[in-house]
Chain A
Amino acid sequence: MEKFQQSFPSKQVAWPASRKWALSGVVGSGNLEVLIEPSAAAPASVSYSVETSFPGYKDSWLAALGDFASHYAVGGTTITIHDQGASPIVITMRLRQALDLLTSVKP
């Protein structure tokens, strides 16, 4: 297992009052789960915490996570990831899905 944490600047997320968290993905081969939660600490940055069973790809992770923070407004959140060898595109898709779930309004 490899664990690392990193923060990136990001525009502040549009956080709906009705949601406290959002989860996307599952932990499984080539997949990961992403949990987004509010963080009171810094509204203009996102704090990632990653646990992966495929060590040795930190550069690639940080590039993908940094790009996501700069393309989407996720400031003021903590994003925790449990990974089992997902490719960067899957990481980006799950991040987007979690963000979509979070910001979509409950029917």
Chain B
Amino acid sequence: MTNLLARFFGDSASGITLTDKIATGYASLNGSAVCVIGTVEGTYINDAAALLLSAQVLDCIESKPGMPIVMLVDSAGQEPNRTAEMLGLPFYFGHLLTCLEVAREAGHKLVTVATGKAIGGAFLCYGMFADAIYALDSASLGLMPVEAMSAVTKIPVATLQELSKTLPALEFGAGPFALLGGVMEVWPTDDSLPAKLSAAIDAATTEDTRALLGKERGGRPQALDVQQRVLAESAA
């Protein structure tokens, strides 16, 4: 894991603390300082993890005005746990998102790289909230693997696999997720990563372009049209 952090941030990765597989800290990317929050090694994310991440975001807003925030995602999901639910897990996630929104409004750029697993609520609760979202080619992105989907929907795995050939939404992975507009670009895991991430931060805007990308790339053909139609009808 430290390898991956080093790939992006070189020696400055030592400024990133790992607490129970939750990464927080500051590092240097292509010579510019960035704030880093993330999950590693496919860990499950819970209320305590969300608070660690949000604390880092708050520190960044307060002490490093305008510094870009890089979000690294490698988490298999939220941990199904009754005590966490009782304490209000959605509110811990909602708080993390709200902190990121306050950061965005304060001028911090938010850029996500899905480095490993980026699944369900674990992706929703911070990574998918970025200005711009990227994924490594080896990353596993999606709602849930086909086997799990089959178990819940009672639709046979073979049927889902066959359908996923024409419906990328049912397929698991960085490529299909990009077709839906969920990530801007899929990156190979090589030495160009720091430069790519740095350029991505420069290019990021607060415009949410995912529906547009999903339509252009053909993976999510209906979303943009429906959104625009609602906006048009409500303006009438």
A contacts B directly (C-beta below 8 A): no
